[in-house]
């Protein structure tokens, strides 16, 4: 290499230099991201490499921080709902629900039964879309180019369905305090009923073509083993915790809405590795179909928005409330404190991805770079949710 | 006219023909690959430019030529630009001893196979140079992978080729083809099925094609050894990849699939058909499988392909000797 040229730019910024201080001599410090194909957006991970082995990894956040919690302080409760669709573009309705649910709990608002079922149906559809997005992107991480096209083909159908009641395709703001914005019309219900058997017929194909593929199995089996103890320490939830054998699902642990009336199983896996998390998500899609099917049958006629639902100028009663729902990535929580004004005094959002990501530094230690990417993908991270 | 030897004239004409056909093959393969990938992925592939999008690669090539050539700060200017040229030029030489038809061969040399294997070894040098000279960490990692992979996969490739050479008793590709017959059961693949399998797998590894595209694994190393190359710098690597595919498939055709032999149709047509079939196989593999991990790649090579290739070679040698006594 020519030494006459200025190589200062290679020394890196504050984070890299700080990280490099404790690195062993001769090891390579590599910045994965913020622009890197497998960090799904703008996550940045600084890794210390010895050859191809990851000695240490440190995720660096903040590249997509949009001050959602601050925005909650300057907006009225109803005005804040659109923000929730933008926290996690993968499972926007789960976030809708967490915030709306917390406000309803605080103000003691009873939601009409039909609205609850509509929430369950749309939220589960959104969960399927989210898992499909993860599935396609994860296989892309593992070097398989084709599955994402099939996943997006299916996801497109879900988005087409959700477009009818919500009016948008990705960043939904569909839930209202006291119900939902619009009823599912006959057209929408017909499409959902058609989607269920169609998607069921696709899942075995995915199993045959992708899940049982020998290369895929060798890539994810035994990779990124997370002990249940570590999951508890880091507060991991959702498929990550269930993939490690922890039977924790908010829909069952702290039942809300109509979930107690619905029959579904919470899949867990004793494998604890990337394969376990993969399997859990694949089974969850099947279970979501079951939930939707039952909810469609049980759904009564009626209003979808409670009479006298809060207007934007509505004053939130004084007090505090916490409400959690099961999102596609884990436990989505919203904690609201109100001092009786129009704006909620403080809103704290609990993002499952943040806790799940914090496992990465521990799990990736000593793995090969390719495995580290496989582990990162198996945690199903949506960066805007982590940064908020 | 006596000033120019006939053989030299033949080589010059051959080289020009090869250069033109490599360019053409590159363009056609880009279109085929994108079209096949499209249909595998339930989309039409390119269809805007020309009928069924056949002119798409031309537009791509024009775009690549028009791009600014960029060199990163701190890169070694000579080695950086030498690498793509070095990846492409030896490939042209590889085409010289390929027997497309009976007597249709640019360079009729009795060590043709050796020539191909020797010059294809140069490809790894360009990968190493590209990764090293770019002054980029991803590039360096990609280059390290590329070298380890190429060195490893050359051995079973060589051993499987040797097995056929033993049977034929010649390193001349035309001679090897002549010894095979018209029908599939007269081809070397019937006597050397294991060598064929080893050859195809090693060829995927040698050409850095998915599922063995680790030096450029884009989900881990962004683009590996050619991360920093833009415009035609990248274009040459790209072209070299397709040209390399053609060479390994042509060699496989000549060694195992009877070369130009085939019923009814003329020889060169059969040759092109067989090469195309093998290339399609490689394209299918790329778009249907995930990528293997680096250590798995080496395990496949050292623990499976190499012992199998050695056993196959020893067995072949034994039977060849036996046949001589009989």
Q: What are the chain A neighbours of B43 within 8 Å (beta carbons)?
A: 149
- Answer whether residue A2 shows pLDDT above 50: no
Cα four-point dihedral sign A99, A105, A111, A115: positive
CB contact under 8 A, A215 and B289: yes
CB contact under 8 A, A143 and B43: no
Residue B180 tokens, joined: 């095979």
- Answer whether residue B286 shows pLDDT above 50: yes
Read off the DSSP letter of residue A299. Answer: P
Segment A38-64 shows an average pLDDT of 83
Res. B99 pLDDT band, cuts 50 70 90: confident
Q: What are the chain A neighbours of B290 within 8 Å (beta carbons)?
A: 139, 142-144, 213, 215-216, 219
**Parallel, antiparallel, or unpaired: how do β-strands A331-338 and A346-350 relate?**
antiparallel
Task: Render pLDDT for A229-242 as a digit per residue (tens, 0 to 9).
Answer: 888 888 888 899 99
Q: CA–CA separation, B143 vs A300, rounded Å?
A: 63
Chain A closest-CA separation from residue B144 CA (Å): 9
Q: CA–CA separation, B70 vs B62, rounded Å?
A: 17
Query: What percentage of chain A carries pLDDT values higher than 90?
Result: 16
Contact in structure between B150 and B124 (CB atoms under 8 Å): yes
Contact in structure between B149 and B182 (CB atoms under 8 Å): no
Q: CA–CA separation, B81 vs B72, rounded Å?
A: 12
Name the residue among A346, A320, A323, A345 with its Cα closest to residue A334. Answer: A323
Token pair 């499972």 in the structure block, residue: A91
Best of B137, B213, B219, B223 to disrupt the A interface (most A CBs within 10 Å) is: B219
Contact in structure between B247 and B98 (CB atoms under 8 Å): yes
- Answer whether residue A26 shows pLDDT above 80: no
Tell which wins on pLDDT, A358 or B104: A358
Task: Render pLDDT for A157-170 as a digit per residue (tens, 0 to 9).
Answer: 999 999 999 888 88
Of B74, B288, B294, Cβ closest to residue A370: B294
**C-alpha B208: how far from chain center:** 9
Measured CA distances, B263 to B61, B100, B183, B252, B270 (Å): 38, 16, 7, 19, 9
Token pair 């919690």 in the structure block, residue: A69
CB contact under 8 A, B287 and A146: yes
Q: What are the chain B neighbours of A216 within 8 Å (beta carbons)?
A: 290
Task: Render pLDDT for A252-309 as a digit per residue (tens, 0 to 9).
Answer: 888 888 888 888 888 888 888 888 999 999 999 999 999 999 999 988 888 888 887 7
Tell which wins on pLDDT, B14 or B148: B148
Measured CA distances, B208 to B143, B166, B202, B215, B291 (Å): 12, 28, 10, 7, 11
Architecture of domain A68-387: Orthogonal Bundle (1.10)
Residues near B187 by beta carbon (within 8 Å), at least 6 away in sequence: B180, B181, B256, B257, B258, B261
pLDDT at A337: 92
| pTM (two decimals) | 0.84
Q: What are the chain B neighbours of A368 within 8 Å (beta carbons)?
A: 293-295
Farthest CA pair distance, chain A: 78
ipTM attached to this prediction: 0.78
Of B286, B290, B295, Cβ closest to residue A142: B290
Res. B2 pLDDT band, cuts 50 70 90: low
- Answer whether residue B219 shows pLDDT above 70: no
Task: Render pLDDT for A119-167 as a digit per residue (tens, 0 to 9).
Answer: 999 999 999 999 999 998 888 888 888 888 889 889 999 999 999 998 8
Q: What are the chain B neighbours of A218 within 8 Å (beta carbons)?
A: 292-293, 296
Query: What percentage of chain B carries pLDDT values higher than 90?
Result: 1
Q: CA–CA separation, A141 vs A135, rounded Å?
A: 10
Residues near B95 by beta carbon (within 8 Å), at least 6 away in sequence: B18, B21, B22, B106, B243, B246, B247
Res. A4 pLDDT band, cuts 50 70 90: very low
Token pair 């003691």 in the structure block, residue: A108
Residue B33 tokens, joined: 């690959």
pLDDT at A353: 87
Q: CA–CA separation, A92 vs A84, rounded Å?
A: 7
What sections of chain A are H helices per DSSP? 14-21, 68-74, 77-87, 92-107, 113-141, 147-166, 186-206, 214-220, 228-234, 238-242, 250-253, 274-298, 352-363, 369-378, 383-387
Q: For residue A340, how many C-alpha atoms fall within 13 Å in the half-sphere facing its CB? A: 1
Residue B164 tokens, joined: 């056929």
Residue A188 tokens, joined: 């929408």
Q: CA–CA separation, A91 vs A131, rounded Å?
A: 9
Residue in chain B nearest A52 by alpha carbon: B141
**CA angle, A260 then A266 then A268, to 5°:** 160
Q: For helices B137-168 and B193-206, what crossing angle results, to 10°?
A: 160
- Answer whether residue A220 shows pLDDT above 60: yes
Tell which wins on pLDDT, A359 or B89: A359
In chain A, the N- to C-terminal Cα span, in Å, equals 42
Task: Render pLDDT for A336-348 as a digit per residue (tens, 0 to 9).
Answer: 999 888 888 889 9
Name the residue among A334, A375, A371, A335 with its Cα closest to residue A358. Answer: A375
Q: For helices A274-298 and A186-206, what crossing angle results, to 10°?
A: 150
Q: Please list the residues that pair with A326 across neighbouring strands.
A: A331
What sections of A4-112 are H helices per DSSP? 14-21, 68-74, 77-87, 92-107
pLDDT at A1: 41
- Average pLDDT of chain A is 86
CB contact under 8 A, B290 and A144: yes
Task: Render pLDDT for B233-280 as a digit per residue (tens, 0 to 9).
Answer: 888 888 888 888 888 888 888 888 887 887 877 878 888 888 888 888
- Answer whether residue A3 shows pLDDT above 60: no
Name the residue among B165, B170, B174 with its Cα closest to residue B99. Answer: B174
CB contact under 8 A, A215 and B43: no
Q: CA–CA separation, A311 vs A299, rounded Å?
A: 26
Best of A44, A145, A366 to disrupt the B interface (most B CBs within 10 Å) is: A145
- Answer whether residue A22 shows pLDDT above 80: no
Segment A54-62 shows an average pLDDT of 85
CB contact under 8 A, B220 and A38: yes
Task: Render pLDDT for B128-174 as a digit per residue (tens, 0 to 9).
Answer: 888 888 888 888 888 888 888 888 888 888 888 888 888 888 888 88
Residues near A236 by beta carbon (within 8 Å), at least 6 away in sequence: A226, A230, A244, A330, A352, A355, A356, A359
Q: Where are the domains of chain A?
A: 68-387
Task: Render pLDDT for A301-337 as a digit per residue (tens, 0 to 9).
Answer: 888 888 877 777 888 888 899 999 998 888 999 999 9
Of A10, A143, A146, Cβ closest to residue B41: A146
What is the H or E stretch that residue A47 is in?
strand A44-50
Residues of B with CB under 8 A from a CB of A: 37, 40-43, 73-74, 76, 135, 137-138, 140-141, 144-145, 210-211, 213, 217-222, 286-296
Segment B219-243 shows an average pLDDT of 79
């Amino acid at each position: 290499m020519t030494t006459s040229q200025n190589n200062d730019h290679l020394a890196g910024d504050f984070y890299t230099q700080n990280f490099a201080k404790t690195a062993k001599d001769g090891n390579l410090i590599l910045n994965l991201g913020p622009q890197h194909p497998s960090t799904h957006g703008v996550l940045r991970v600084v890794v210390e490499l010895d050859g191809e082995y990851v000695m240490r990894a440190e995720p660096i956040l903040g590249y997509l921080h949009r001050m959602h919690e601050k925005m909650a302080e300057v907006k009225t409760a109803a005005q804040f709902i659109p923000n929730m669709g933008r926290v996690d573009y993968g499972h926007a309705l789960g976030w809708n629900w967490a915030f709306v649910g917390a406000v309803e709990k605080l103000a003691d608002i009873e939601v009409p039964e039909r609205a609850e079922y509509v929430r369950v149906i749309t939220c589960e559809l959104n969960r399927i879309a989210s898992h499909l997005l993860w599935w396609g992107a994860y296989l892309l991480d593992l070097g398989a180019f084709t599955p994402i096209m099939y996943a997006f083909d299916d996801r497109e159908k879900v988005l087409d369905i959700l477009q009818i009641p919500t009016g948008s395709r990705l960043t939904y703001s569909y839930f209202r305090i006291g119900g939902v914005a619009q009823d599912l019309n006959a057209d929408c219900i017909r499409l959902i009923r058609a989607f269920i058997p169609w998607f069921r017929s696709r899942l075995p194909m995915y199993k045959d073509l992708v899940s049982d593929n020998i290369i895929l199995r060798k890539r994810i089996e035994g990779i990124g083993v997370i002990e249940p103890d570590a999951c508890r320490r880091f507060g991991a939830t959702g498929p990550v915790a269930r993939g490690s054998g922890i039977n924790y699902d908010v829909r069952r642990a702290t039942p809300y809405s109509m979930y107690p009336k619905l029959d579904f199983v919470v899949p867990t896996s004793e494998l604890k590795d990337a394969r376990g998390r993969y399997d859990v998500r694949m089974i969850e899609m099947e279970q979501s179909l079951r939930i939707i099917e039952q909810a469609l049958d049980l759904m009564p006629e009626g209003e979808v928005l409670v009479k006298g639902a809060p207007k934007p100028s509505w004053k939130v009663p004084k007090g505090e409330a916490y409400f959690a729902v099961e999102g596609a990535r884990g436990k989505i929580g919203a904690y609201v404190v109100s001092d009786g004004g129009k704006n909620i005094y403080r809103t704290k959002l609990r993002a499952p991805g943040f806790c799940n990501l914090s496992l990465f530094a521990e799990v990736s230690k000593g793995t090969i770079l390719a495995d580290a990417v496989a582990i990162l993908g198996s945690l199903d991270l949506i960066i805007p949710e982590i940064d908020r | 006219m006596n000033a120019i030897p006939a053989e030299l004239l033949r080589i010059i004409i051959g080289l020009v023909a090869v250069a033109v056909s490599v360019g053409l093959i590159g363009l056609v393969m880009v279109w085929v690959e994108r079209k096949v990938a499209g249909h595998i992925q339930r989309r039409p592939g390119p269809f805007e430019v020309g009928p069924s999008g056949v002119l798409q690669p031309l537009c791509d090539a024009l775009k690549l030529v028009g791009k600014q050539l960029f060199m990163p700060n701190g890169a070694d200017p000579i080695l950086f630009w030498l690498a793509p040229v070095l990846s492409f030029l030896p490939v042209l030489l590889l085409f010289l001893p390929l027997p497309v038809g009976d007597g249709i061969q640019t360079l009729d040399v009795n060590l043709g196979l050796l020539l191909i294997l020797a010059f294809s070894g140069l490809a790894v040098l360009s990968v190493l140079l590209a990764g090293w000279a770019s002054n980029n960490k991803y590039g360096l990692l990609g280059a390290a992978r590329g070298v380890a992979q190429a060195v490893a996969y050359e051995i079973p490739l060589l051993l499987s080729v040797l097995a056929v050479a033993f049977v034929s008793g010649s390193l001349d590709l035309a001679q090897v083809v002549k010894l095979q017959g018209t029908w599939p059961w007269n081809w070397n693949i019937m006597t050397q099925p294991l060598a064929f399998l080893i050859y195809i797998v090693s060829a995927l590894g040698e050409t850095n094609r998915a599922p063995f595209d680790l030096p450029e694994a884009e989900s881990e190393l962004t683009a590996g050894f050619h991360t920093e190359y833009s415009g035609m710098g990248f274009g040459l690597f790209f072209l070299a990849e397709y040209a390399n595919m053609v060479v390994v498939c042509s060699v496989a055709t000549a060694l195992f699939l009877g070369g130009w032999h085939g019923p009814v149709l003329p020889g060169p047509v059969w040759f092109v058909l067989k090469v195309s079939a093998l290339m399609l196989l490689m394209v299918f593999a790329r778009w249907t499988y995930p990528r293997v991990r680096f250590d798995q790649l080496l395990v496949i090579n050292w623990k499976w392909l190499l012992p199998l290739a050695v056993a196959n070679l020893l067995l072949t040698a034994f039977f060849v000797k036996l046949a001589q006594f009989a």
